[in-house]
Amino acid sequence: MSTILVMYHSQSGNTRLMAQAVAAGVESVENAAVNLKPAAETGLEDLRSCDGMAIGSPEYFGYMAGMIKDFFDRTYEAAIQNPKTFRKPYVLFISAGNDGRNCRDQIERILTGFRFKKVFEPVISRGPVEQEILDQCLELGQTIAAGCDLGIY
């Protein structure tokens, strides 16, 4: 059984919708379980107990949400000292008003420090979250869950 941690932050609900679609994608894969959590409630134990991770952030002021950064700040020192908390496969989903690229770039940069491995291109939503984006998020969840289950990452 593979466990996928779907960690997100959302103030007005857009990133939460995307996170729920990613989680539904994970759950649609046999032998996969989802741990869906707001970043503020996510800690080192969640990182240790997952096989892969999906991270969702809104773009705020051209950057990731503070709560996503806070999770990285809180866990980095311990994470890099434990082989069970780094080198995880990950996927990314972002909700933005009209951009999202710097949020993506900065998260990817931090995850290089965690030695995480990107296994699929990020989904970036611009404006209200459309059905097409939710479909892509579902696929994102299926992809990371199926890949972890097969052990291909």
Footprint of ligand FMN on this chain (CB under 6 A)?
10-15, 58-62, 95-100
Burial 31-52, CB ≥16 within 10 A → b, else e: ebebbbbbbeebebebbeebbb
Whole-angstrom Cα distance, residue 1 to residue 8? 22
Q: How far is the CB of 55 from ligand FMN (least distance, A)?
A: 13
50/94 with CB nearer ligand FMN? 94
Q: How far is the CB of 31 from ligand FMN (least distance, A)?
A: 30
Whole-angstrom Cα distance, residue 52 to residue 101? 23
Q: How far is the CB of 126 from ligand FMN (least distance, A)?
A: 7
> Residue 150 has which token pair?
């097969």
20/142 with CB nearer ligand FMN? 20
13/113 with CB nearer ligand FMN? 13
